[in-house]
Amino acid sequence: MFKRFILLCLALVLVGVLLTQSVFASPKYTTKWEKINAPVNLPILMYHSVENKPGNGLCVPPEQLEQQLKYLHEQGYYTVTPAEAYKILVQNKVPKKHKKLVMVTFDDGYENNYTAAYPLLKKYHIHATIGLITSKIDTQGMLTLKQIKEMKKSKWVSFVSHTQNHQELDRLDEAGQREEMQASRTWLKQNLHQKPDLLVYPVGRYNEVSPKVAKESGYKLALTTQPGPANAEQGKYELHRQRVVPDMTQEAFAKLLQP
Ligand SMILES: [Zn+2]
CA of 132 to the centre of ligand 1 (A): 9
Task: Quick: pLDDT tens for 70-87.
Answer: 999 999 999 999 999 999
Domain count, the chain: 1
Q: What contacts 76, CB < 8 A, 6 or more positions away?
A: 98, 100
Q: Is residue 112 part of a domain?
A: yes
**63 CB contacts (<8 Å, ≥6 apart)?**
none
Range(s) of the domain holding residue 148: 42-256
Please, what is the angle between helix 145-154 and helix 174-192, to 10°? Answer: 70
How close is the Cα of 162 to the center of ligand 1, in Å? Answer: 7
165 Cα: distance to centroid of ligand 1 (angstroms):
10
131 within 8 A of 137, measured Cβ to Cβ: no
Kindly report, residue by residue over 17-41, the tens digit of the pLDDT. 444 443 333 445 557 999 998 889 9
Q: How far is CA 139 from the centre of its chain?
A: 22
Residue pair 181/214 in contact (Cβ under 8 Å)? The answer is yes
By DSSP bridging, strand 78-79 and strand 101-108 are parallel
Domain assignment present for residue 16? The answer is: no
What does the radius of gyration of the chain's CA atoms come to, in whole angstroms? 20
> What's the CATH code of the domain at 148?
3.20.20.370
pLDDT at 178 exceeding the cut of 70: yes
| Phi then psi dihedrals of residue 180, to 5 deg | -60, -40
Which of these, 209, 225, 207, lies nearest to 217 by C-alpha position?
209
Q: What would the mean pLDDT of 170-175 be, rounded to a whole number?
A: 98
**Residue 192: inside a domain:** yes
Q: What is the pLDDT of residue 98?
A: 81
- Asked whether residue 212 is assigned to any structural domain, the reply reads yes
Give per-residue pLDDT as tens, 128-152.
Answer: 999 999 999 999 999 999 999 999 9
pLDDT digit string (tens) for 187-243?
999 999 988 899 999 999 999 999 999 999 999 999 999 999 999 999 999 999 999
Q: Report CA(109)–ligand 1 centroid distance (Å).
A: 9
Query: Is 218 among the domain residues?
Result: yes
Q: Indicate whether 21 belongs to any domain.
A: no
Do the domain assignments include residue 18? no
Mind listing the pLDDT tens digit for each residue in 87-132?
999 999 999 888 899 999 999 999 999 999 999 999 999 999 999 9
Are the CB atoms for 102 and 43 separated by under 8 Å? yes
Q: What percent of the chain has pLDDT over 70?
A: 88
Of residues 30 and 57, more confidently modeled: 57
Q: What distance in angstroms lies between residue 122's CA and the mean position of ligand 1's atoms?
A: 24
174 occurs within a structural domain? yes
Is pLDDT of 11 > 80? no
